[in-house]
């Protein structure tokens, strides 16, 4: 009798623990099922779950582009951003921003992220490592193709592609665009925003610290201006205060992390021979200057290591 009871007891314990284990197991799978992926791609840039390093840096709520409701700058952002300008006499930021939205669309872009979107982006830098790469078709295959400054496509289609959905620029690097390309102004000073307004209206500004075009061809309805708070965010969170302010290439890459679900990087870094030059110029470029090139490169390598971006090294 005692033996039988003991046996039964053991049987019950096993049964109960098996049920508990099963429940735990299914609870886990149910949790995984209920936590939907933030996008429809295989891997999502904005997924902050897998890396503490990424989660500490990536802020999904930072203002991205200037609009009329988010244009007031926090005192510390304002002080830092205005401190970047080397042009002494500047107009009032508030006045300039008011003009901005009387001329250009005042929209909230890229708020469409979600579990059904898989937006792929190519960020195309201007490195000489693009020459002979045959990346053209692969670059054009992306939803967004983001190019930087003067980097041309004409004559280089085989290596850099034809398509440009966004071109990053500032007055000193401005070029004409076709009607379908977004002009994304990266403002490093108030005068840059004034130049943008002037280029589409009075055409009177022809000089900043260097000569700049009085006007450019571009679709007024596709103009966007990067938020100064975003520049500060990249400086603080990503460049960790290295350099005077982040380079345009680095800013563009982090910008892409905020508007895309998948980011592929082309034309960054030196050639395989260790040479820094633009694919469209013979002259060598410096990669340090006011920017922390070396530190930025380490961050880019780390982003690649944790599968947030894929860097294509060019012809090897
Ligand atoms: C700069 O501002 C000061 C004070 O507002 C003014 O006296 C001066 O003429 C300005 N200089 C230029 C080059 O606009
Ligand atoms: C401006 O951008 C912010 C995000 O930075 C957004 O919440 C707001 O709705 C936008 N306003 C307009 C008028 O689009
Ligand atoms: C450019 O696109 C806009 C719409 O965004 C259109 O109104 C305009 O006519 C187009 N211009 C040219 C030259 O195709």
Q: What one-character-per-residue DSSP string does 132-193 give?
A: T---HHHHHTSSEEEEETT---TT-HHHH-S--SEEEE-GGG-----TTPEEEE--SSHHHH
Ligand 2 centre from 111 Cα, in Å? Answer: 9
| Closest-CA residue to 309 (of 264, 266, 269) | 264
pLDDT of residue 65: 96
Q: Is residue 3 predicted with pLDDT exceeding 60?
A: no
> 85 a known binding residue?
yes
From 59, 68, 70, 228, the mutation candidate for ligand 2 (largest count of ligand atoms within 8 A of CB) is 70
Q: Which residues have a catalytic role annotated?
A: 245, 291
CA dist 150 and 212 (Å) reads: 13
pLDDT tens readout for residues 134-149: 999 999 999 999 999 9
Q: Of 30-44, 190-204, 205-219, 285-299, give the lowest mean pLDDT range.
A: 30-44
Ligand 1 centre from 88 Cα, in Å? Answer: 9
Report how far apart, in Å, the C-alpha atoms of 249 and of each of 100, 148, 149, 162 are. 25, 7, 9, 20
Ligand 2 centre from 225 Cα, in Å? Answer: 13
Ligand 3 centre from 283 Cα, in Å? Answer: 37
- Whether 86 lines ligand 3, by a CB cut-off of 6 Å, is no
Average pLDDT along the chain: 89
> 149 a known binding residue?
yes
Q: Is residue 189 predicted with pLDDT exceeding 70?
A: yes
Where does the pLDDT of residue 64 fall: very low under 50, low under 70, confident under 90, or very high at 90 and above? very high
Q: Tell me the angle at which helices 190-199 and 93-103 cross, rounded to the nearest 10 degrees.
A: 30
N- to C-terminal Cα separation, the chain: 80
> 233 a known binding residue?
no
3-state helix, strand, coil in the chain (%, to 5): 40, 10, 50
- Whether 92 lines ligand 3, by a CB cut-off of 6 Å, is no
From 61, 63, 67, 109, the mutation candidate for ligand 2 (largest count of ligand atoms within 8 A of CB) is 67
For residue 31, count other CB atoms closer than 10 A to its CB: 9
> Which fold does the domain 52-312 belong to in CATH?
sialyltransferase cstii, chain A (3.90.1480)
pLDDT tens readout for residues 8-54: 666 666 666 665 555 555 555 544 444 678 999 988 999 989 899 99
> 99 a known binding residue?
no
pLDDT of residue 78: 94
Q: Is residue 309 predicted with pLDDT exceeding 80?
A: yes
Q: Of 26-30, 188-192, 194-198, 217-221, give the lowest mean pLDDT range.
A: 26-30
pTM of the model: 0.86
Name the residue with higher pLDDT: 289 or 170: 170
Q: Which atom in ligand 3 lies closest to the alpha carbon of residue 179? A: 1
Domain boundaries, the chain: 1-36, 52-312
């Amino acid at each position: 009798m005692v033996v039988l009871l003991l046996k039964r007891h053991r049987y019950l314990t096993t049964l109960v623990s098996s049920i508990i284990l099963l429940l735990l197991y299914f609870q886990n799978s149910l949790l995984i099922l209920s936590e939907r992926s933030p996008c429809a791609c295989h891997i999502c840039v904005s997924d902050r779950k897998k890396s503490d390093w990424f989660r500490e840096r990536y802020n999904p709520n930072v203002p991205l582009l200037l609009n009329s409701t988010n244009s007031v700058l926090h005192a510390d952002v304002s002080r830092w951003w205005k401190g970047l300008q080397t042009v002494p006499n500047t107009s009032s930021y508030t006045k300039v921003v008011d003009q901005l939205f009387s001329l250009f669309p005042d929209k909230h872009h890229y708020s469409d992220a979600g579990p059904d979107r898989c937006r792929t982006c190519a960020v195309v830098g201007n490195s000489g490592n693009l020459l002979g790469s045959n990346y053209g078709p692969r670059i054009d295959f992306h939803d967004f193709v983001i190019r930087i400054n003067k980097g041309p496509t004409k004559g280089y289609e085989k290596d850099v592609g034809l398509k440009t959905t966004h071109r990053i620029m500032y007055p000193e690097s401005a070029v004409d665009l076709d009607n379908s390309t977004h002009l994304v102004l990266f403002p490093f000073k108030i005068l840059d925003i004034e130049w943008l307004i002037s280029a589409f209206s009075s055409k009177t500004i022809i000089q900043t610290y260097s000569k700049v075009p009085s006007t450019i061809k571009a679709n007024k309805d596709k103009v966007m201006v990067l938020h100064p708070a975003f520049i500060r965010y990249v400086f603080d969170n990503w460049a960790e205060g290295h350099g005077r302010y982040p380079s345009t290439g680095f800013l563009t890459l982090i910008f892409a992390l905020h508007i895309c679900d998948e980011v592929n990087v082309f034309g960054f870094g030196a050639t395989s021979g260790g040479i820094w030059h633009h694919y469209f110029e013979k002259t060598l470029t410096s990669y340090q200057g006011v920017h922390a090139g070396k530190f930025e490169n380490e961050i880019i390598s780390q982003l690649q290591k944790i599968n947030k971006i894929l860097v294509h090294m060019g012809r090897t």
